[in-house]
Structure 1
Amino acid sequence: MDLSSEPISPDVADTAPLTRREIADLLPEIPGWSLEDGRLVAQFACKEFCDAVAFFQEIARFSARESHHPDISIHKGRIVDVAWYTYAIGGLSRNDFIMAARLSEWLRCRQGGAL
């Protein structure tokens, strides 16, 4: 099953974080994302600051639909960083990978195929 079509688990607080092996197996399924400091991260370049702010807000609304929120930041005035991490378990959950896959899919559809 494609990660982006998997359901989000509503409560992962009682689950263990993914193992290094599980992370290594899932990472190839979400091109453009990498592992940094135990978080699943990607960067998106916008044309200018106002575009970055609008994109930031779109990601916030996108993630609110599933109640699974990333860390989002803007730097260099136009670069948006997105990082998934499940604080409730102190590591990465499958939900983080599902949401990264969904965000990538949403962006592909929104931008006509290009991230």
Structure 2
Amino acid sequence: MYGRLLQQAFLQSRKYFSTEISSKSRCLPCEGIGKTLEREQVQQLLDKVQGWKVSPDNKQIFKNLELPDFMSAIRYFQQIADVAEAEGHHPDLHLTGYNKVRIDLSTHALKGLTENDFIMAMKIDSLGR
């Protein structure tokens, strides 16, 4: 109970949007608490992540990649999975063909984009392929 109250208090204190995030930032648990980013905020953060695009409904960001082969894609997914577990923020991962990867990020609990999605995008971008 106290953990949830502290979390709510922390999220309430985070009233101001910040573009001061990096791959060293940590994802904050939201559990359905908080609000999604406005379109203008998404555009500001999108400038910080190379190759990511926003969906037309402004509810997710995604990136398409082509890796050398099937096993490279699987190893890359494992690296992403390790980061996602550590952060408690999980992308949707898609593999088509044998080497075409798509990564979708969205804050599922809020059905939209939050700073967590951009933190994860930065962390994913910092991984070796």
Report the TM range for the smaller structure's normalisation: 0.7 to 0.9
Alignment partner, residue 45 of structure 2: 26
Unaligned runs of 5+ in 1: none
TM-score where L is the length of structure 2: 0.76
Alignment of 1:94-105 (within 5 A): 94-105=115-126
Q: How many Å apart are 1:12 and its aligned residue? A: 5.2
Alignment of 1:12-91 (within 5 A): 13-37=32-56, 38-91=59-112
Higher Cα radius of gyration: 2
Which residue identity lines up with residue 14 of structure 1 in the other structure? I
Q: Which runs of 4+ in 1 moved over 2 A?
A: none
Unaligned runs of 5+ in 2: 1-19
TM-score where L is the length of structure 1: 0.84
Q: 1:54 to 1:31 in 2, by over 3 A?
A: same
Superposition CA RMSD, Å: 1.6
- Asked if 1 retains the 8 angstrom alpha-carbon contact of 2:36 and 2:114, the reply is yes
Q: How many Å apart are 1:68 and its aligned residue? A: 0.5
The percentage of aligned residue pairs carrying the same residue is 29
In 2, the alpha carbon distance for the partners of 1:84 and 1:44 equals 14
Which residue identity lines up with residue 45 of structure 2 in the other structure? L
Which residue identity lines up with residue 28 of structure 1 in the other structure? D
Q: Tell me the matched-pair count.
A: 108
Q: How many Å apart are 1:94 and its aligned residue? A: 0.5
